[in-house]
Amino acid sequence: MSDCAEMEMPKYQCHKKVWALKIKNLESKENGSAVLTPEEAMYGPFILDKEYVNKHNPQVGGYYVVYEDHYVSYSPAEAFEAGYTKI
């Protein structure tokens, strides 16, 4: 076992600003894509391409996340809600 595994690693606090929508429903399509319906009623359903679905495995209740550099990701609800506050 390495010495690093026995020592506590440095801690970091997140200070990123992101855009996010909580996922109300996901409808899988035959081609591997999915239709995401957000919890927020003012936003309509939209398509997640097959690559996004395969890479991130989004789940109902989690968050569709877009970072300032336009990177698109997914976060489980527990992790997202523990790290972000709506501004």
- List pLDDT tens digits, range 56-84: 999 999 999 999 999 999 999 999 999 99
CATH number of the structural domain 16-83: 2.40.50
Is the separation of the CB atoms in 72 and 52 below 8 Å?
yes
- The confidence score (pLDDT) of residue 2 equals 55
- List pLDDT tens digits, range 19-62: 999 999 999 999 999 999 999 999 999 999 999 999 999 999 99
Which pair of structure tokens corresponds to residue 67? Answer: 């970072």
Q: What is the pTM of this model?
A: 0.86
Q: In the predicted model, is pLDDT for residue 1 greater than 60?
A: no
